[in-house]
Chains A and B, each alone.
Chain A
Amino acid sequence: MEGTLNLIGAGLVVIGAGLGLGKIGGSAMDAIARQPEAAGKIQTAMIIIAALLEGLAFAALILGK
């Protein structure tokens, strides 16, 4: 039973991370479509925010296990 709760929690963490990253990616795509010459800066900012979000997701996974 405890293992099942762990897995459900891990699934919720992955859903949260997936939603967050999807939103970041979508906004980045829109921004690059509007202004293709700023693509470099937008990409850098997107990677940074993605890494922060991954950090939270991994932290939750490791702390949960």
Chain B
Amino acid sequence: MVLPGRIVKNTLTALFAVVPFISFANSANDTVQAHVEHAETTEVHAEAAHADEHAPASKKDAIDAYIQHHLQDTHDFTFFSDEEQGKHYGFSLPVILFDNGLKIFSSGELHHGEKVANVDGNYYMLHHGKIYKTDAAGTLNYDQHHHPTNVMPLDFSITKNVVTMLFVAALMFFMFIGLAKSYKKGPIPTGMGRILEPLIIFIREEIAIPNIGEKKYRKFMGFLLTVFFFIWILNLLGMTPLGVNVTGNIAVTVCLALLTFFITQISANKDYWKHIFWMPGVPVPMKIILMPIELLGILTKPFALLIRLFANITAGHVVIMSLIAMMFVGKNLAADMPISLGLTLFISVIELLVAFLQAFIFTMLSSLFIGMAVQDHHHEEDHDHHTDEEPIII
């Protein structure tokens, strides 16, 4: 059963529009942080937004904390900060909480986690990028892993990642509207479209048509193009000094993989489901055994997609930050600096390639899964026909 293109397109648009708001601040980064927090002491009041040399005992722990902080999502957009004077240059973003009613306030009131925010009688405290509900004194109760056990309100804030995703969405919107408009003047695009057109044709010829087929690729081109450019531009923005790490945030990659998952399942035809639940051409006991394996296979494919993108981008950022931090850990600055900067430059160039490659791989695997779901299965008729015909032997 194939849905009409109109419904698929509207569903995709609605799902895509929801993606920025699903990105809760710091949903699953705790698993990575858990090992780092063993070494840190529990000094909440000394935790400024870019705290790296305050509470932790050794330089290595300070660097670990610095790297973990830079991988996270923050409630304000800080460009750079001055440690000695404690000033941060940037702007605050709105915090939207749902805690028995909608509470909207500026993140400037959270003061980078130093003071308690007082909003309509409720007190909120920022700790490691997450907002907890406390009392007027700002007490946070810790369990044995130094994680606060306070209640967390539902956090729908416009964080740095959300701002970046909205910016990339607006950028893509204007780029492609410009390209589409320039086609009115003639078959060759002018301006920005000259870069985009070969890329779009590359995706159509190399990714969409070979995997999905000539007849049905048109419906899915919108999704594939969006995913490709979205991931590519976000990866590239992660390389800039702005310090945004969107695709390295597991919430974002989960949403992208979920989009692929829903699109493949919604547009799958009967042959696909028959192959999963009741594989034809196989004896019955094998069919019973194969069914849970195939069901698991449906889930592992998007899971691999999301882990691949998340791990590649996060690992790249961690390596670059560790190489820069090597300068501070080493004893001889004059000798360490050129080595460290040289290696960082080398790794950054590789990361530029990785940015494109991960977008390409995500798009290609998505189109492969979609193609597997929507393809017409010609083999069925061949199996049946071969039993009827006699082989002609002369």
> What 0/1 pattern do residues 285 to 313 of B give for CB contact below 8 A with A?
00000000000000000001001101110
Docked-complex contact B357 and A59, CB < 8 angstroms: no
Which DSSP category, helix, strand, loop or mixed, fits chain B's interface?
helix
Q: Given that A48-B364, A65-B32, A65-B35 are contacting pairs, would A58 and B315 also be in contact in the complex, using a CB cutoff of 8 Å?
A: yes
Docked-complex contact B307 and A52, CB < 8 angstroms: no
Docked-complex contact A55 and B308, CB < 8 angstroms: yes
Bound-state Cα–Cα, A56 to B35, Å: 22
Bound-state Cα–Cα, A4 to B50, Å: 30
Q: Given that A47-B357, A48-B361, A59-B307 are contacting pairs, would A54 and B35 also be in contact in the complex, using a CB cutoff of 8 Å?
A: no
Chain A residues with Cβ under 8 A from B357's Cβ? 47, 51
Docked-complex contact A62 and B361, CB < 8 angstroms: no
Query: How many Å from the CB of A49 to the closest CB on chain B?
Result: 10
Q: How many residues of A contact B (CB 8 A)?
A: 14
Among A44, A47, A52, A62, the residue within 8 A (CB) of B311 is A62
Chain B residues with Cβ under 8 A from A65's Cβ? 32, 35
Bound-state Cα–Cα, A55 to B313, Å: 10
Among A47, A52, A55, A62, the residue within 8 A (CB) of B314 is A62
Docked-complex contact A58 and B308, CB < 8 angstroms: yes
Query: How many Å from the CB of B320 to the closest CB on chain A?
Result: 14
Chain B residues with Cβ under 8 A from A58's Cβ? 308, 311-312, 315
Q: Spell out A's residues near B (CB within 8 Å).
A: 44, 47-48, 51-52, 54-56, 58-59, 61-63, 65
